[in-house]
Amino acid sequence: MDFRLTDDQRALRAGVRELLEGRFGRERLRAAVDKPAPGADPALDRALWRELGDAGFFALRLPEKDGGVGLGLPEAVLAFEEAGRALVPGPLVATHLAAGSVPGAATGETVVTRVDGELVEWLDAADCVLGGTGITAGAVPVRSVDPLTPLHRVPGGAGASGEPPEPGAALGALLTAAEQLGSAARTTEAAVHHACEREQFGRPVGAFQAVKQLCAHMLVRTEVARGAVYGAAVTGDPVEIAGAKLLADEAAVRNARDCLQVHGGTGFTWEADVHLHLKRAWVRAERWPTAGDASETLAAALL
Amino acid sequence: MDLTYTEEEQDFRARLREWLAATLPGLPPRPDPLDWPGRRAYDTGWQRRLYDAGYAGLHWPADAGGRGATPTQHLIFLEETELAGAPYVGANFVGLLHAGPTIAAEGTPRQRARWLPPVLRGDEVWCQGFSEPDAGSDLASLRTRAVRDGDAYVVTGSKIWTSHAEVADWCELLVRTEPVSAAVPKHRGITWLAMPMNAPGVTVRPLRTLTGTAEFAQMYLDEVRVPVANRVGDENDGWRVTMVTLSFERGTAFVGEVVACRRTLRRLAAAARGNGRWDDQELRRTLGRLNAEFTALWRLTQWSVSEAQHTGTAVPGNGGSVFKLRYSHARQELYDAAARVLGAGSLDLSHDWTPERLSSLSYTIAAGTSQIQQDIVAERILGLPRGR
């Protein structure tokens, strides 16, 4: 047993982080957030999508003979963790799941989304919709809380009953959990950075126990979620995946809230990135399985 | 990231499982918690069986009398003994998990030869003389004085919350050898001593806890003479030696318990289904959530064991605080859930989940309170500024 990152996995993680920092750094993130007129849907950056495709982001788990990278679930999880850190917008999980079955998905030429529960993300931008043939006809646009995730509501959509929306759903849940993990880690870093810089009463606010305890719990949530997500990536066990989604959702949402709290008044502004993490974490937490579905799966496994 | 066990590790597991299956059925039940001498005899007897079978001090280095097993083998040992329902380490806890590893890491060859083998054989039991009535979480404020007199330290003071003090042969004792002053900050001037519990001047008074049993004791030390040769580490360097001990306590002490919690959780689910409480959605989902918690804590354990095996570090790091913070709360949630499964039955002390629920209250206090662990995580791992 050697349950740690291999050198190749570390290199992969560093490579994806570098790629995303270069291609979708803070300036690009802010440009994407601030560019559309208020209330307008953001545009999907198709050039970025193709670059992610070229880098093997979508074809990561496809066999090499099919033009893929031939890596496994743990590597995909590391890549999605980085995407979550960087807040990359777009239906990343759906396109990754479609690689190999939808032409052009693996290379990022085709943008694929999927119906998940009552919601479908990026419907207008997508070339193809998984898991909801025909039912998107009645889809109604939603004024999405997340400025970088346009949403449509599909009454009675796939997965709305708590059942998996499609055969690949468990994989999608794990990759979503990985994104949540990356977000949770990022907001922890942001909170710690701010707590060391911001001075009040003549000292950094991070010297105050109340702030320290918020930060400590952020790290604990992140590390517990990491254990769950990495473990599920290795075993591929559906019950472990449900646990990973549950704990990673919780870590991403609660860490973003605590990060906002540590930032004080600054955290409540549009200029601070923390609300973007919180809103995206809320969106991902509504993807299958939600906390209720996941805990039922985990409970049933005890019997 | 690999969770498959090597052939060698699987062999080790198979042999251990076979031995446990052959050994455990003959064991009588563990004596009542109030019967301390009975418990000591039982726990040391189990230790002797482990020793004779070659399973004592698995994780200790070979030159300290241990087996020099890999961290993964130690993990397998803790997992399998717990799954098989083998006796708890019990009275041997301090010797095997704190004092022993500390002496192995910091003691002289002579000290190692004197104190380590009896711990492994189950011949001698240790207790921990760290906390004082006015120095609990603020351990560095301890005041028990040791004054050098020829080849001995003369120790006077009082210790509290000393587990197993009534039946211990030795005490890992922290004393102040240099008074606090402008030149000597309180973390300096502390020395780590091995004190024989039968020395004249040692008085032990059992302390009854909220569980109703006397789990630990207050200890009064009145001019107790401890040979200078019993000092582990340098004079006034006891704080550093203590940090070595505490990192063992936080790093490895709870591994087997995670396995036990996972077993308890399954029993809870079965009981809830049996008495109809499984239909309570909120309770059912709480149990499901705890399933995720303990699985994640087990994976974290495997992660840190893999890191330890790779880096070859004998001393676990501050990551133990991350684990302890979450684990201690999860354990309390587990037994609170047990009370909800039992309903009014949870008021009956004869159900084994009720004493467990009571004792779980100590988990966020013992071995460094959750508040202290939060400071450790914030300051030593996240690098936030010191302060209060």
Q: What is the pLDDT of residues B291-335, one digit of tens each?
A: 999 999 999 999 988 887 887 664 455 678 899 999 999 999 999
Q: Are residues B309 and B344 in the same domain?
A: yes
* Rounded Cα–Cα distance for residues A241 and A243 (Å): 5
Question: Which residue type sits at B229?
Answer: A
The position carrying tokens 């071995």 is: B367
Q: Does B326 touch chain A (CB under 8 A)?
A: yes
The position carrying tokens 């002797």 is: B48
Q: Are residues B54 and B152 in the same domain?
A: no
Going across the sheet that includes A112-116, the strands are A128-130, A112-116, A119-121, A151-153, A140-142
Count how many pairs of residues, chain A against chain B, have C-beta atoms within 8 Å: 175
* Rounded Cα–Cα distance for residues B105 and B64 (Å): 9
Q: Are residues B34 and B59 in the same domain?
A: yes
- Best B309, B313, B322, B382 residue to mutate vs chain A (most A CBs within 10 Å): B382
CATH of the domain at B142: 2.40.110.10
- Tell me if ipTM is over 0.90: yes
Q: Tell me, yes or no, whether B241 lies in a domain.
A: no
Q: Tell me, yes or no, whether B387 lies in a domain.
A: no
Instruction: Say what the pLDDT of residue B270 is.
Output: 98
Interchain pair B303, A208: CB under 8 A: no
Crossing angle (nearest 10°) for helices B255-275 and B281-311: 160
- Percentage of the residues of chain B whose pLDDT score is greater than 90: 71
CA distances from B224 to A179, B189, B196, B228, B303 (A): 60, 19, 9, 12, 45
CA distances from A186 to A43, A49, A222, B165 (A): 24, 22, 10, 47
The count of C-alpha atoms lying within 13 angstroms of the C-alpha of A267, restricted to the half-sphere facing its C-beta, is 19
Q: Are residues B60 and B146 in the same domain?
A: no
Final residue before a domain boundary, out of B37, B62, B88: B88
Q: Are residues B330 and B290 in the same domain?
A: yes
Closest CA to A117 of A172, A58, A35, A52: A172
Q: Are residues B257 and B368 in the same domain?
A: yes
Q: Are residues B132 and B68 in the same domain?
A: no
Closest CA to B126 of B47, B183, B69: B47
Name the minimum distance, in Å, from the CA of B228 to any CA of chain A. Answer: 40
Q: Are residues B198 and B296 in the same domain?
A: no
Q: Are residues B81 and B149 in the same domain?
A: no
Provide the number of structural domains found in chain B.
3
Instruction: Say what the pLDDT of residue B388 is.
Output: 63
DSSP label at residue B6: P
Query: What are phi and psi for residue A299, nearest 5 degrees?
Result: -70, -45
Q: Are residues B300 and B271 in the same domain?
A: yes
Strands (E), B17-109: none
Segment B12-39 mean pLDDT = 92
- Percentage of the residues of chain A whose pLDDT score is greater than 70: 97
Q: Are residues B55 and B152 in the same domain?
A: no
Q: Tell me, yes or no, whether B82 lies in a domain.
A: yes
ω into A289 cis (within 30 of 0): yes
The position carrying tokens 């005890």 is: A302
Closest residue of chain B to A235, computed from CA coordinates: B3
Is A42 within 8 Å of A52 (Cβ atoms)?
Answer: no
Final residue before a domain boundary, out of B236, B268, B286: B236
Element (H, E) at B266: helix B255-275
Contacts of B297 in chain A (CB under 8 A): 224, 227
Instruction: Say what the pLDDT of residue A46 is.
Output: 96
Element (H, E) at A146: none
Question: Model confidence over B257-281: pLDDT tens digits?
Answer: 899 999 999 999 999 999 999 999 9
Which of B80, B82, B124, B249 does the annotation list as catalytic?
B249
Q: Tell me, yes or no, whether B108 lies in a domain.
A: no
Final residue before a domain boundary, out of B204, B236, B268: B236
Q: Tell me, yes or no, whether B112 lies in a domain.
A: no
**Residue A38 pLDDT greater than 80, yes or no:** no
Burial B179-195 (b: 16+ CB within 10 A, else e): ebeeeeebbbbbbbbbb
Q: Tell me, yes or no, whether B104 lies in a domain.
A: no
* Rounded Cα–Cα distance for residues B48 and A281 (Å): 53
| Beta-carbon contacts of residue B279 (< 8 Å; ≥ 6 apart) | none
Q: Tell me, yes or no, whether B94 lies in a domain.
A: no
Domains located in chain A, CATH noted: 7-153 (1.10.540.10), 169-302 (1.20.140.10)
Instruction: Say what the pLDDT of residue B255 is.
Output: 77
- Both tokens of B217, joined, read 């004791």
Pairing of strands A128-130, A112-116: parallel
Q: Are residues B228 and B266 in the same domain?
A: no
Name the minimum distance, in Å, from the CA of A4 to any CA of chain B. Answer: 5
- In the structure, what pLDDT confidence band is assigned to residue A135 with cuts at 50, 70 and 90? confident
Query: What are phi and psi for residue B221, nearest 5 degrees?
Result: -120, 115
Residue A291 CB coordination number (10 Å): 17
Interchain pair B302, A231: CB under 8 A: yes
Burial A10-38 (b: 16+ CB within 10 A, else e): eebbeebbebbeebbeeebbeebbeeeee
Q: Tell me, yes or no, whether B365 lies in a domain.
A: yes
Is B59 within 8 Å of B69 (Cβ atoms)?
Answer: yes
Instruction: Say what the pLDDT of residue B52 is.
Output: 96
Which residue among A6, A223, A243 sits closest to B292, beta carbon to beta carbon? A243
CATH of the domain at B342: 1.20.140.10
* Rounded Cα–Cα distance for residues B87 and B93 (Å): 12
Question: Residue B278: which domain range?
Answer: 251-382
Instruction: Say what the pLDDT of residue B321 is.
Output: 87
Instruction: Say what the pLDDT of residue B1 is.
Output: 94
Question: Model confidence over B129-184: pLDDT tens digits?
Answer: 999 998 888 888 999 999 999 999 999 999 999 988 999 999 999 999 999 988 88
Respond yes or no: is residue B249 known to be catalytic: yes
* Rounded Cα–Cα distance for residues B265 and B259 (Å): 10
Q: Is B356 exposed, middle or buried (0-12, 13-18, 19+ CB in 10 A)?
A: middle
